C-alpha cells in the first residue's frame, strides 16, 4: 500500500516538473521569436527574400524602393546619398 502511495506521489512530481519544463521551453521559444522580430531590419530582410533575393532587388529600382521603405530614416538618407554619388560618377 505504501509503495503505491509513493509511486503516485512520484508520478505527481514528474507531472509538475514536466509541465514546468514545457512552460519554460515555450517561454524560451517565444522570447527568441520576439527578439528576432524586434531586430531593426527584419522587415527589410524578409522583403528582400520575398522579392527574389538581394541581386533581384539591386537590379530593380521599384523593388529597391520597396525594401528601402522598410528601413529607418538614417539608412534611407544614406542610400539616397550614395545613389546620388554613384549617379554623378556615371
What total number of domains does the chain contain?
1
CA distance 53 to 34: 24
Range of the domain at 13: 2-89
Give the SS3 label for residue 74: helix
Q: Is 57:70 a contact under the CB 8 Å cutoff?
A: no
Give the SS3 label for residue 68: helix
Residue with cell 523593388: 63
Would you say how long the chain is, in residues? 90
CA distance 83 to 51: 20
Q: What pTM value is reported for the model?
A: 0.52
pLDDT digits (tens, 9 = 90+) for 2-49: 777 787 788 888 778 777 777 777 777 777 777 766 677 888 888 999
Amino acid at each position: 500500500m505504501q509503495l503505491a502511495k509513493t509511486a503516485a506521489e512520484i508520478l505527481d512530481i514528474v507531472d509538475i516538473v514536466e509541465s514546468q519544463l514545457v512552460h519554460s521551453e515555450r517561454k524560451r521559444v517565444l522570447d527568441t521569436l520576439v527578439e528576432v522580430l524586434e531586430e531593426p531590419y527584419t522587415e527589410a530582410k524578409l522583403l528582400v527574400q520575398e522579392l527574389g533575393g538581394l541581386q533581384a532587388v539591386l537590379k530593380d529600382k521599384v523593388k529597391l524602393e520597396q525594401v528601402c521603405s522598410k528601413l529607418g530614416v538614417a539608412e534611407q538618407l544614406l542610400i539616397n546619398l550614395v545613389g546620388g554619388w554613384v549617379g554623378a560618377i556615371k
